[in-house]
Amino acid sequence: MPKAKSEYEVEELYISRLDDMGCEYVNLKNYNDVCYNFRKQFCNLNAKELIAAKGVGNSRMQSLTVC
């Protein structure tokens, strides 16, 4: 029977897998940091849709601040 892993071992494995997928650690010190990071990640995820909705051409896509 396999040995049960501690919570620490499971967490380290999870963090390692996230790192392998290209995720990066973000140091969040307070609630404002959490809100800022959420907005930044949300905008990154939806950048193409937001740019299309604003009617901005592809040539300006790289320099546009969407949020």
From first to last of its 67 residues, the chain has per-residue pLDDT tens of: 778 999 999 999 999 999 999 998 899 999 999 999 999 988 888 887 777 777 765 555 455 454 5
Please report the pLDDT score of residue 56 as a whole number: 62
Longest Cα separation, the chain: 59
- Given phi > 0 = left and psi -120 to 50 = alpha, else beta, which region is 22? left
What is the per-residue DSSP string for 21-48? TT-------SHHHHHHHHHHHHHHHTHH
pTM over 0.85: no
Count of C-beta atoms within a 10 Å radius of residue 43: 13
